[in-house]
Structure 1
Amino acid sequence: MAYHASDNCTAGSKDLYKFYFSVMITEFILALPLNLSVIYLFIFKLKFWKSKSNNIFLFNLVLADILLLICLPVRAYYFQRGERRSNNNTVCKSVLFMLFLNRGASIAFLTIISINRYFSVVHPGIKNPFKIRKRNILISVLVWVVLLPLTIPSMLTSFECCNSNETEETPGDTIAENATTITFRELVFFTPVLIPSIILVYCTIRITNRLKEKTVGDRTKLRRAVFLVTLVVLVFVFCFWPSAISRLVLLMFRVQGLPKEEEIAVQVYDGLMCLSYLDCLLDPMVYCLSSTKFKHVYMSTYLPFLMKGRHMEHH
């Protein structure tokens, strides 16, 4: 089997990976209490399973963020040691499985929230398929169930230096099987970014056009919808697209057989994957734009002094 730079667990530049370590720890320290405070509100204040249907998707989004955050200290620990991943095969693949599962869940629920808002403001006359609470619970469960088998290919063959050293590989049918698994894995990596991005751009254009067309009446709901889908697009552009593009470049260098370039691409890819975890900090802005009730409850619970200032202004 050919050697690839991305199969090596040792960091090319230990100083660079120590910087990545500090970035991930900072993300973890800032995002964990924020997301815990959000999930507390959804469970104990908003009782998301009883409240309006959109809160079900928002709850699943924050759940995906918290599960992803749990993996960050593990990754950061090995970066600090000058290693890209754990040399323990089980730990390495388990962390990758969790990271890709929750990345996929974040993308799926961000897209669903945007489509929900699109139906509400662009097609108010059509029955919104996301307005039925029981159906949304079923959709949320289905998203997680579908993502589970789609994430498994990251654990089946050597990937991102997770090497199956415990079992001997036979050169015959394993090569073809590995090639199929690798192709499927890369499709699973890129498709959740590409297809939702097309959907989000379409929703953004349609909602923006709807805002321009509406010359009379209440435009506040439309403006909030425009801000919401624009923010989700920015999350994709800032958090998910850089890592996807860098992985594409990495694969191109691998196919062309350029080990030095691939080694640099691996380090860039790892850094941009660290950047992708920033969506855990940006998602709470999505909650505020998706639900005015959530925004009010959050501020009255954690920032009551700001609410007092607003009441004074109104009086």
Structure 2
Amino acid sequence: MANNTGYQDIEDCEATNKALYKFYAAVMIVIFILALPLNASVLHLFIFKLKFWKSNTNNIFLFNLVLADILLIFCLPIKAYNYIDGERRSDKDAICKAMLFMLFLNRGASIAFLTVTSIDRYFNVVHPGRKNLLRALKKSPHISILIWLLLLPLTIPTMLKTFECCNSHSQLPNGTKEDTLVKDVVDSMREVVFFSQIIIPFVILVYCTVHIVNRLRKKTVGDTTKLRRAVFLVTSVMVVFSFCFLPCTVARMVLLIARVKPWPEDWQDKAAVAFDGLMVLSYVDCLLDPLIYCFCSTKFKSIYLSSYFPFLVKGNGVPLDSSTGNTTQPSRNNVI
């Protein structure tokens, strides 16, 4: 096979454009520096100010969302170190698999809780009087535990069989037919998980957004503040989701096509570099998720500002409610 050496070079963990990967590393370090204290402060607020476990509202979902973000943030220094060292992935199989496990689990959890929050708002706005399973389950923290447990099987493909530098559908220069078949099956499972984690929730988010917006348009009488906030919420989730996850999904699809065809070696390398860069972009989700908490409720913003930025609070110590123009009294009950 004349191209074996070329394919092996592509599948090596060494980055071909070291300067660009150092830039990627710098971006991840900046995200880490900004996102860690931001999410830690939100986590502190949920635990010590809101006491989320006593709430029957979306607080439980949002607490798990910030928890997933924090766990994902801790992966960034390791990836940044690899990039600075000139490696696309760790050349150590255990570290490579552990990183994939954490990324699959925590990104999946982040997407899942974003989606569940939007579904819950959809039922509250579009079907306010209808009983639904989610409304019954969200009164218990067990629904959050169940979501985490359901995500665990999706990480199994990341732990099966050694694969070169965590790449899928790479060419095996000296592999047997049986080895190639097993590798293709495992790789395909991993890719199915990757795409299903993004495409299925995106379809659900589009559905919820369209119906909530239509509900707002049909609302001709009565207080529309709740509907507007619901629209702000689902719109912000859609924007964050589209900005952070859809580009890397498209890039992943292009990269897989480049490997399966296969495309020329330099094209495959460019596709891999583009995918890695857009994956770095997806980590900005950890910075944008806290904005969603504010869209969920101005009361959450009020408590956050009064707790951590009291100098921004108006004279009587209560921040201004941006949706009504009036002051709001922070309440620890039913905040979100």
TM-score in terms of structure 2 length: 0.86
Match of 1:223 in 2: 228
Partner of 1:151: 155
Task: Indicate the RMSD between aligned Cα atoms, in angstroms.
Answer: 2.2
Q: For residues 290 and 82 of structure 2, what CA distance do their matches in structure 1 show?
A: 28
Q: Is the 8 A contact 1:130 1:136 kept in 2?
A: no
Q: CA deviation at 1:134?
A: 6.1
**Paired residue for 2:44?**
40
* Cα distance change, pair 66–74 in 1 and its aligned pair in 2 (3 A): same
Q: Quote the residue 1:280 is aligned against.
A: 286
Distance 1:133 1:83, change over 3 A: same
Higher relative contact order (CA 8 A, sep 6+): 1
AA aligned to 1:148 is L
Asked if residue 14 in structure 1 is aligned to residue 28 in structure 2, the reply is no
Question: Secondary structure, in 3 states, of the residue corresponding to 2:133?
Answer: coil
The answer to which of 152-161 and 65-74 deviates more is: 152-161
| 8 A contact 2:60–2:141 mirrored in 1 | yes
Alignment of 1:125-140 (within 5 A): 125-132=129-136, 136-140=140-144
Instruction: Identify the match of residue 182 of structure 1 among 156, 180, 187.
Output: 187
Residue-by-residue CA offset, 1:104-144 (whole Å, 9 max, x unaligned): 11111100000000001111111243334665422211211
Matched, 1:297 2:303: yes
- Counterparts of 1:189-228 in structure 2, within 5 Å, are 189-228=194-233
Give, in whole Å, the separation in 2 of the partners of 1:175 and 1:124: 53
**Is the Cα–Cα contact under 8 Å of residues 5 and 262 in structure 1 kept in the other structure?**
no
1:70 corresponds to which of 60, 71, 74 = 74
Q: Secondary structure at the match of 1:161?
A: helix
Task: Tell me how far apart the structure 1 counterparts of residues 164 and 50 of structure 2 sit (CA, whole Å).
Answer: 40
Partner amino acid, structure 1, of 2:186 = T
CA contact (8 A) 1:116 1:130 kept: yes
Separation in structure 2 between the aligned mates of residue 152 and residue 6 of structure 1, nearest angstrom? 26
Q: Which moved more, 1:302-311 or 1:246-255?
A: 302-311
TM-score, normalised on structure 1? 0.92
SS at match of 2:74: helix
Separation of aligned partners in 2, 1:50 and 1:203: 27
Aligned length: 310
Q: State the AA in 2 paired with 1:249.
A: V
Q: 1:106 aligns with which of 99, 110, 114?
A: 110
CA distance in 1 between partners of 2:96 and 2:88 (Å): 10
Is contact 1:46-1:294 (8 Å) kept?
no
| Alignment-mate amino acid for residue 240 of structure 1 | F
Aligned to 2:262: 257
> Contact 2:305–2:319 (CA<8 Å) still a contact in 1?
no
Q: CA deviation at 1:4?
A: 6.1
Contact 2:43 2:66 in 1 (8 A): yes
Unaligned runs of 5+ in 2: 168-173, 321-325, 328-336
Question: Which runs of 5 or more residues in structure 1 are unaligned?
Answer: 164-168
